[in-house]
């Protein structure tokens, strides 16, 4: 009996120790692993230390977010030495992934300084001469990547359309002519606006040098995957390890969350300041 009691005490102590390991850290500690993953539910995340970032409304430039929404975001990070993966989890009761008038999309973003320097860029999207790199995940892109069709009926199942000139009878059987006709009525796609077209990744790479300057990054380097959890979203974003980032040279990272049902889009978002990013 005494030995059983001792065993129970030991188990309780071990469990308690495990819980203590999940006490949030003040910084984002990047754990070194053999293989990184895009899966937010992969077991590898369980042993990684947790960072809890309090969020504030974007209230520096118009249009501002005047009512706070998402209060905090849970972050974990791993690296395999060449790539880094962030797991971001937050509470969001509503799934907003259908675009439309006054329909806004759930999303999240990570932001890193383009160069590791003691003189860090402004946390609000950088500043002139101090570029930030942003990896931006959106719920509608996730749905597209997972197979949602590029049709109006995928957005409005009861829509009834008599005819599109871009799909006129004479064009049938000529894929090139069909594509050209389709682009004629979709100028954003014709201009190569990455925001506008069908996608093969739910994440977009962007750069910025301050508010209003966000623009597509030269290369698509990020990947991602988001899943619904019982309470909201869990998203993994992977990208190459920032140049110069090592155990001896820490960096910073910042996060942003858009809650679609709260009409959050663009500058209307919840954000963090810079958080230390440390290789363990």
Partner 1 sequence: MARVKNWQLGREMSYWYPESRPQKQFAAVFDTNKCIACQTCTLACKTTWTSGKGQEYMLWNNVETKPYGSYPLAWDLNLLSLLDGQNWGEEDGKPVYKGSTIFESAPAGERVMAWRPDEEDYAYPNVGEDDCAGGIEHGASIEIPHQMAWFYYLARICNHCTYPACLASCPRGSIYKRPEDGIVLVDQGRCRGYQECVRGCPYKKVFFNPMTATSEKCIACYPKIEQGLSPQCFANCIGKIRMAGFINTPDKAQADNPIDYLVHIKKVALPLYPQFGLEPNVYYIPPIHVPTAFTKQMFGPGVDKAVEVYRNAPNDQDLTSLLGLFGSTEAIVRKWKRVGEKAIGMDENGKELVDVPFKEPVHIRPAYDKLHQITRTNCP
Distance of CA 176 to the CA centre of its chain: 34
Q: Toward partner 1, which CB reaches closer, 47 or 196?
A: 196
* Nearest distance in Å: CB 114, partner 1: 19
* Nearest distance in Å: CB 236, partner 1: 23
Q: Toward partner 1, which CB reaches closer, 100 or 218?
A: 100
Counting contacts by CB under 8 A, is residue 196 touching partner 1?
A: yes
Find tokens 């958080």 and name the residue.
Answer: 275
* Nearest distance in Å: CB 172, partner 1: 17
Counting contacts by CB under 8 A, is residue 195 touching partner 1?
A: yes
The residue within the footprint of partner 1, chosen from 12, 47, 63, 117 (CB under 8 A), is: 63
Tally Cβ neighbours within 10 Å of residue 130. 17
The residue within the footprint of partner 1, chosen from 147, 157, 192, 218 (CB under 8 A), is: 192
Are 79 and 87 spatial neighbours (Cβ–Cβ below 8 Å)?
no
Q: Toward partner 1, which CB reaches closer, 182 or 273?
A: 182
The residue within the footprint of partner 1, chosen from 24, 68, 81, 165 (CB under 8 A), is: 165
Q: Toward partner 1, which CB reaches closer, 194 or 280?
A: 194
- The H or E element containing residue 77 is strand 72-79
Counting contacts by CB under 8 A, is residue 128 touching partner 1?
A: no
According to DSSP H, which parts of the chain are helical? 2-21, 139-145, 152-155, 175-184, 187-190
Provide the b/e sequence for 179-208 (b: ≥16 CB within 10 Å).
Answer: eebbeeeeeebeeeeeeeeebebbbbbbbb
Q: Which residues contact 122 (CB under 8 A, 6 or more apart)?
A: 130, 210
Instruction: Write the interaction track for partner 1 spanning residues 87-116; mark x where CB under 8 A is met and - where it is not.
Output: -----------xxxxxxx------------
Question: CA 24, CA 270: separation in Å to the nearest integer?
Answer: 20
Q: Phi and psi for 234 in degrees, rounded to 5?
A: -125, 125
Counting contacts by CB under 8 A, is residue 256 touching partner 1?
A: no
Counting contacts by CB under 8 A, is residue 12 touching partner 1?
A: no
Counting contacts by CB under 8 A, is residue 148 touching partner 1?
A: no
């Amino acid at each position: 009996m005494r030995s059983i009691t001792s065993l129970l005490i030991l188990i309780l102590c071990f469990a308690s120790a495990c819980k203590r390991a999940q006490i949030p850290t003040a910084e984002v500690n990047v754990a070194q692993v053999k293989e990184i993953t895009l899966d937010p539910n992969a077991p590898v995340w369980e042993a990684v230390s947790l960072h809890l970032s309090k969020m504030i409304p974007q209230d520096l430039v118009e249009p501002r977010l005047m009512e706070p929404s998402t209060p905090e975001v849970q972050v974990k990070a791993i690296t395999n030495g060449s790539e880094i993966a962030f797991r971001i989890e937050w509470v969001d009761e509503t799934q907003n992934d259908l675009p439309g008038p006054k329909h806004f999309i759930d999303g999240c973003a990570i932001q890193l300084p383009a160069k590791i320097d003691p003189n860090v860029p402004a946390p609000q999207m950088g500043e002139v001469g101090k570029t930030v790199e942003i990896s931006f995940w959106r719920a509608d892109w996730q749905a597209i990547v997972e197979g949602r069709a590029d049709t109006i009926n995928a957005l409005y199942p009861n829509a009834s359309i008599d005819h599109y000139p871009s799909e006129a009878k004479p064009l049938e059987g000529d894929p090139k002519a069909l594509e050209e006709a389709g682009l004629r009525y979709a100028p954003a796609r014709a201009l190569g606006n990455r925001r506008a077209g069908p996608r093969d990744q739910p994440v977009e790479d962007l750069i910025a040098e301050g508010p209003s300057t966000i623009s597509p990054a030269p290369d698509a380097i990020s990947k991602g995957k988001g899943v619904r959890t019982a309470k909201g979203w869990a998203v993994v974003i992977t990208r190459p390890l920032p140049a110069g980032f090592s155990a001896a040279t820490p960096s910073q990272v910042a996060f942003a969350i858009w809650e679609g049902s709260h009409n959050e889009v663009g500058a209307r978002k919840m954000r963090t300041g810079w958080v230390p990013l440390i290789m363990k």
